[in-house]
Amino acid sequence: MKPFLDLFSQNDFSLIAVVLLMPLLGAFVNGVFGRRLGKQAVRMMALSAVGVSFAAAIATFVALNSAIDATHAAHGEAAHSKLAWLAWEWMRVSGPNGSKIAIDLRFSVDALSGVMMLVVTGVGFLIHVYASEYMIADKGYWRFFCYLNLFIFSMLVLILGDSLPVLFVGWEGVGLCSYLLIGFWYGKLPNAAAGKKAFIANRIGDFGLIVAMFLLVVYCGALDWDGIQRHANDLVATSDRPGPINLWPIGGGKFEDYVIAGIRVPLHNLQPDKPWTITAATAVGLMLFLGATGKSAQIPLYVWLPDAMAGPTPVSALIHAATMVTAGIYLICRLSFVFVLSPAAMIVVAFTGAATALLAATIAVVQNDIKKVLAYSTVSQLGFMVLGVGVGAFTAGFFHVFTHAFFKACLFLGAGSVIHAMHARIHDEARSQDMRNMGGMKKYMPLTYGTFLASTLCIIGFPGTSGFFSKDEILARVLIETPTGVKLANAAAPWQWPSWAPWVLWMMGVAAATLTAFYMMRLVFQTFWGDFRGWTIGRPSQVAKSEHESDHGHAEDEDAEDGDHEHHDDLSQPGPPPHESPRPMTIPLLILAAAAIVAGIFNPAAIKLVVSTFSFLPLEHWLDPVFKDAARGITMAEHHTAHTRELISTFGAFTAFAAGSGLAYWVYVKEKGKPAREMMLKVPRLYRLALEKWRVDEAYDKTVVAGVDALADTAASVDQGIIDFILARLTALIVAATGTILRVFQNGVVHVYAAVMVVGVLALGWFFVQPHADFTVVEQNGDYTLQAGPGPGYEFRWYPDATKDPQTKDFSVADNLKVHVADGKSQTVKLEVKNAFGRVGSKAFTITRPATPTSAAGAVQIREQ
């Protein structure tokens, strides 16, 4: 491979183009020709596009590894190195102080984006394989793969972009693909509404990202990663312009009291006396985090993600679990050096993450829809990642992104496999996803069960699995690491976290982990253990029907436009017993489950507890150069304390796992769900509230959505009343009335037109025969220049003083006159004009010069004005 990789130089690594553009090619071919190509060709195109992209990504990764080794050998320590490829120069914009900011369409791979690239293309390829079977009965097959390939392309742009604007292009691209794929079965209203909701929630986040870009341009004068990193300290510097940001809560500065008819309206109470002053780093951090809350489904914008499960299950696995939703965490890791400058922004990030993890976990406990449980579980896990990066443990947070991509993709695909089997029997979308109708599935689909169980053990942190190493690492880091900001000579001391914050965060995290263990084991027990409850839905199918198994129900949701499905012989009859999914669906499951189990070896930090000399931490060492700059803003507890706290944390995390899964075992296996039903009856209102997701959606409907609706109604009435009525109709009326009057003159008789023309010609002739004496006057310091207007054969005679003799006795061609008028005096000037016909006209004009104030004070006053 080395001779091949030597073809590309480090600064013009065009292999990135292959990684990027293959999925785009796939999207293009499938989107434009897919309808005519047929399903097999579409499948081939989509799979080969992502497959080649994955292969190129591996080659790129190998090249990156050797580049890093080379710099390591040259500098003696791990240095940040990357492979870059400039597609083209995009735009030049002017920055502060007249500087030029180059925004290029440049892509780069470094340690962080390299791992992310492998995950996206690798997991993306497996999910493509799965989906190519899962969606086989769907009429929109080509459309699906066009969107899916386009998603991979956009996600790669997001990851590989070398500057914020390029990242933003990818950011919007994945948002678009997410919207298109959530609403893939757009014929159903809830699906279309879910897509719209996701899009709008993401727009709010994008607003934050754009504002962050503006701030970075102003403060750092750069938008590419290296440039921002170089100038990051400017974000907190006070000596430099533009300095910290003053925020007035209502805006517009301090309010003065308003006095009306002797009554004082105390407006100054509305605003505090002083504005809130925050550093630009805090503002940029919070705005970037607003973008991350949108994409990574954190409070307050998480509401779109559970609804996004309306899309096909592979989409949920790829976009809404493994890749796109981690973009927010990627962004925070990427700009970690900005975040560490502001402990205030970091505490917001950390608490939002912890609160999201806990809130989503409480909702997941009571849901019955298998995909809803997994959706809230995703929100909860994303909360963990955000918590991790919030306390400054960027490696740990990113490691959880990495492991989560495997096990959550596997969980979703496993759930899809179960739904697929259920749907073949029940033919009802909602009921085939309801866990209450499942049970005992391990007998029917052992492969799905095995992989699902393996991934579940990962997510709940079973010792030795990847989740144990990543999630519990986050919890440990919460106690050990604290962002303390960077002390700079020219900046104010950064605000510090209160000492209780790590412990509160840790307890929230452990509570969320306990709930995670509980609801995930509940999911497994309800779905795969016990007896199949689906029998009660209808008779077991006849033996004859099982022959149809191979072509049964490959789409859990029919396409809206799909009228005839080959496998629905009789919808009123229940189908055969659940069956294992075909091989293209189970093989990705096996690979993902295996990856999920062993991914922990990339960062087995927990082993350090036992063996303190243990240093096999490939991911941490790999990412070390990326986060080196951020590390200066993070304070680690001293070695001994850290060791103790790590033990405490691991003990807590293990307890969480054991308690959660043990409780689930007791409730759902030992007691067959009786305690759960009793609880339900004991606190029915709390149960309903949790089942209805704490009614957050309803609260948003009542406040934000209702407010926007009211605004829209007002705008509509203004549009109808003022724009449509006064501006449009009234104008039209005036024009029509004028037209009616003018129409009378249009009598169509040629002679009248001719006569009018004759009159016009005569009038014009008269105008030119008459002489027109006219001039313009220009003044400068009392010297007045009079310029006469031109005309045919004109000759002029000037009278500088109308009462006296003319300047010259005869008419001449001199068409201007200069006169000087003293201060405060006035003078009458006269002009006589003789035209070619010998006719004479005249005009007189009195020039008056105002008196100039002569006193010194007056002169000064004038200068000031």
Partner 1 sequence: MIPVEHYVALSALLFTIGGVGFLVRRNVIVALMSIEVMLNAVNVALVAFNRLPTHNNAHTGQVFSFFIIAVAAASVAVGLAIVLSLFRIRRTVRSDEADLLKN
State the DSSP string of 468-498. HHHHHHHHHHHHHEEE-----TTBPPPP---
State how far the Cα of 662 lies from the Cα of 674, in Å rounded to an integer.
Answer: 15
Candidates 354-362, 569-577, 726-734, 741-749: pick the segment binding partner 1 (CB under 8 A): 741-749
Q: Whole-number minimum distance, CB 561 to partner 1, in Å?
A: 54
Which residue number, 267 or 764, has a Cβ lying nearer to partner 1? 764
Kindly state the smallest distance separating residue 742's Cβ from partner 1, in Å: 10
Convert 223-249 to b/e letters by CB count within 10 Å (16 or more is b): bbbebbbeebbbbbbeeeeeebbeeee
Binding range to partner 1, per CB under 8 A, among 222-230, 327-335, 744-752, 810-818: 744-752
- Residue (572 or 740) nearer to partner 1, CB: 740
Write the binding mask 426 to 465 for partner 1: x where contact by CB under 8 A, - elsewhere: ----------------------------------------
Minimum CB separation of residue 835 from partner 1 in Å reads: 20
- Binding segment for partner 1 (CB under 8 A), chosen from 87-95, 220-228, 338-346, 754-762, is 754-762
Name which position in 613, 747, 846, 854 contacts partner 1 (CB under 8 A): 747
Which residues are CB-contacts of 322 (< 8 A; sequence separation ≥ 6)?
119, 123, 127, 404, 405, 406, 408, 409
Sign of the four-CA dihedral 360, 363, 364, 369: negative
Of 754, 764, 769, 814, the one binding partner 1 by CB under 8 A: 754
x/- mask, partner 1, residues 391-430, rule CB under 8 A, reads ----------------------------------------
Compute how many residues bind partner 1; rule: CB under 8 A: 11
Which is closer to partner 1, CB of 503 or CB of 837? Answer: 837
Tokens at 701, concatenated? 């409907």
Of 189 and 750, CB closest to partner 1: 750
Judged by CB under 8 A, which stretch of 81-89, 114-122, 445-453, 742-750 contacts partner 1? 742-750
Give 734 or 754: the residue with its C-beta nearer to partner 1: 754
Nearer to partner 1, 74 or 754 (CB): 754
Residue span 685-724 as binding mask against partner 1, x where in contact by CB under 8 A, dash where not:
----------------------------------------
With contacts defined by CB under 8 A, name the span among 593-601, 656-664, 743-751, 839-847 that binds partner 1. 743-751
* Phi and psi angles of residue 91, each rounded to the nearest 5 degrees, phi first: -155, 160
Which residue's entry shows tokens 């009660």?
536
Of 76, 748, 838, 850, the one binding partner 1 (CB under 8 A) is 748
Backbone angles phi, psi at 104, to 5 degrees: -105, 155
Query: What is the b/e burial string over 432-464, where b = at least 16 CB atoms within 10 angstroms of the residue's CB?
Result: bbbbebbbbbbebbebbbbbbbbbbbbbbbbbb
H or E element that contains 37: helix 15-37
The strand ranges marked E within 690-823 are 775-780, 783-788, 795-799, 816-820
422 close to 437: Cβ distance less than 8 angstroms = yes
- Calpha distance 705→130 (Å, rounded): 38
3-state secondary structure of 671: coil
Burial of 587 (0-12, 13-18, 19+ CB in 10 A): middle
As measured in angstroms, the least distance from the Cβ of 748 to partner 1 is 3
CA-to-CA dists, residue 53 to 18, 27, 56, 123, 177, angstroms: 6, 13, 5, 12, 18
Q: Report, in Å, the least distance between residue 734 CB and partner 1.
A: 19
Return the range that interacts with partner 1 (CB under 8 A); candidates 411-419, 443-451, 749-757, 792-800: 749-757
Gap between the Cα atoms of 105 and 699, Å rounded: 42
Rounded Cα distance between 529 and 857, Å, is 99
Strands of 658-781, DSSP E = 775-780
751 near partner 1, rule: CB under 8 A: yes
Q: For partner 1, which residue of 539, 639, 743, 863 counts as binding (CB under 8 A)?
A: 743
The answer to the question of residue 73 lying near partner 1 (CB under 8 A) is: no
Q: Which window, 286-294, 625-633, 738-746, 786-794, contacts partner 1 (CB under 8 A)?
A: 738-746
Binding-residue pattern over the window 755 to 794 for partner 1, x denoting contact by CB under 8 A: x--x------------------------------------
Q: Which is nearer to partner 1, 571 or 755 (CB)?
A: 755
Least distance from partner 1 to the Cβ atom of residue 791, Å: 22
Between 272 and 765, name the residue whose CB sits nearer to partner 1. 765
| CB 743, min distance to partner 1, A | 5
CB of 730 to partner 1, least distance (A): 24
Q: How far is the CB of 795 from partner 1 (least distance, A)?
A: 20
Question: Would you say the C-alpha torsion 82, 87, 93, 97 has a positive or negative sign?
Answer: positive
Q: In the bound complex, what is the minimum distance in angstroms from residue 755's beta carbon to partner 1? A: 6
Q: Binder to partner 1 among 731, 746, 848, 861 (CB under 8 A)? A: 746
C-alpha–C-alpha distance, residues 40 and 645, integer Å: 56
* Rounded Cα distance, 424 and 418, in Å: 10
Query: Binding to partner 1 (CB under 8 A): which residues in 307-326?
Result: none
- For partner 1, the closer of residues 757 and 822 by Cβ is 757
Greatest alpha-carbon pair distance for the chain in Å reads 129
Nearest approach, Cβ of residue 751 and partner 1 (Å): 6
Residue 793 Cβ vs partner 1, minimum distance, rounded to whole Å: 16
Question: Nearest 5°: phi and psi at 576?
Answer: -75, 175
CA 497 to chain centre: 28
Smallest separation, CB 739 to partner 1 (Å)? 10
Name the one range near partner 1 by CB under 8 A: 482-490, 530-538, 739-747, 823-831.
Answer: 739-747
Signed CA dihedral, 72, 470, 483, 170: sign only: positive
Of 91 and 755, which has the nearer Cβ to partner 1? 755
Query: In angstroms, rounded to a whole number, what is the distance separating the alpha carbons of residues 317 and 206?
Result: 23
Cβ of residue 754: shortest distance to partner 1, in angstroms? 6
Q: What distance in Å separates the CA atoms of residue 82 and residue 107, rounded to the nearest whole number?
A: 10
How far, in Å, CA of 89 to CA of 493, rounded? Answer: 40
**Segment interacting with partner 1 (CB under 8 A) among 552-560, 659-667, 709-717, 751-759:** 751-759
**Binds partner 1 (CB under 8 A): choice among 749, 813, 851, 856:** 749
Nearer CB in complex with partner 1: 615/747: 747
* CA–CA separation, 206 and 171 (whole Å): 8
- Name the pairing type of β-strands 481-483 and 840-848: unpaired
Phi, psi for 334 (deg, rounded to 5): -60, -40
The verdict on 263 binding partner 1 (CB under 8 A) reads: no
Q: Backbone phi, then psi, for 237, in 5-degree steps?
A: -65, 135
Q: Which is nearer to partner 1, 88 or 745 (CB)?
A: 745
Closest approach of Cβ 757 to partner 1, in Å? Answer: 10
Going by C-alpha positions, the residue among 504, 159, 525 that lies closest to residue 353 is: 504
* Of the candidate residues 260, 750, 813, 856, the single one contacting partner 1 (CB under 8 A): 750
Q: How far is CA 608 from CA 576, 613, 616, in A?
A: 52, 7, 9
Binding mask 591-630 for partner 1 (x = CB under 8 A): ----------------------------------------
* Contacting range for partner 1; rule: CB under 8 A; set: 154-162, 316-324, 702-710, 748-756: 748-756
H-helix segments, 82-224? 111-134, 141-160, 164-182, 189-220
**Contacting positions for partner 1 (CB under 8 A):** 743-744, 746-751, 754-755, 758
